[in-house]
Amino acid sequence: MTEPIRVLLVDDQPLIRLGFAMVLDAEPDIAIVGEAGDGQDALAQSVRLQPDVVLMDVRMPRVDGIAATADILAALPDTRVLVLTTFDLDEYAFAALDAGASGFLLKDVDRHALVAAVRAVAGGDAVLSPRVTREVIARRTARAAPDATAREELARIATLTPREADVFRALARGLGNAEIAAELYLGETTVKTHVGRVLAKLGARDRIQAVIIAHRCGWGDDRPASEATHRGAR
């Protein structure tokens, strides 16, 4: 039997933690392993409990969620952080993404979206709406990469096989595994394998980093892979 996804809840409001716990604990493949009321406790609990996913509030006393995200990922690089925020384009949430979070959710998210997000992040996906993805790309690509970095990224892209390049371009458009599978006529398991290989070859921690690399290197094409060319990927 597959081990459940271990989740740590971090929020300074006990009622919010309770609400999320009730939703997630009802799922057979998700287990709440602990709670924390601020970022300092979140780091201590994460080191002790080794969660797969941390649901992280950003605005908390003592240590906020941004600093806690960076600290947790430095100590536990395999843990994924999913940020909770009140506003869709919260500056704090963007800062948490820069600290390494795998996405963010609004606190009024419905139960189905919450459960799906936890599962997606645990599986290595990122959780960002298309609008937020565009904003993240705009903010990060505005800070142009040094020429040496860009050349290195292009060299890594050139190592992709044609099929991996198709998947990479689909990732750049913000498609999820199911959407990529439908577009490329592949099974979702095959897509997941390709995504893992793309991330490994690019040296990207997650899909968010892969999207940034794609747009920074001119691979942010809005066309389906079947209509686009494989720039340097053969």
Residue of higher predicted confidence among 228 and 89: 89
Here the CATH number for the domain that contains residue 207 is: 1.10.10.10
Domain that holds residue 115: 5-127
Q: Looking at the structure, do residues 146 and 118 belong to the same domain, yes or no? A: no
Residue 190 CB partners (closer than 8 Å, separation 6+): 181
pLDDT category at 212 given cuts 50, 70, 90 is confident
Segment 32-37 shows an average pLDDT of 95
Residue 142 has what pLDDT?
Answer: 59
Report the CATH number at residue 104.
Answer: 3.40.50.2300
For 172-191, how does the pLDDT look when each residue is reduced to its tens digit (9 = 90+)? 887 878 889 999 999 989 99
Co-location of 42 and 122 in the same domain: yes
Give the pLDDT mean for 183-202: 92
pLDDT in tens, 90-107: 677 778 877 888 888 888
- Mention every residue, 6+ apart, whose C-beta is less than 8 A from residue 182: none
Is the same domain home to 117 and 164?
no
Q: What pLDDT sits at residue 182?
A: 92
- Quote the pLDDT of residue 107: 84
Q: What is the mean pLDDT of residues 113-137?
A: 78
Q: What are phi and psi of 232, to 5 degrees?
A: 70, 15
Mean pLDDT on 104-122: 88
- Predicted confidence at residue 226, as pLDDT, reads 45
Based on the structure, what is the number of domains in the chain?
A: 2
Q: Is the dihedral of CA 30, 79, 104, 169 positive or negative?
A: negative
Q: What is the pLDDT of residue 104?
A: 83
pTM of the model: 0.71
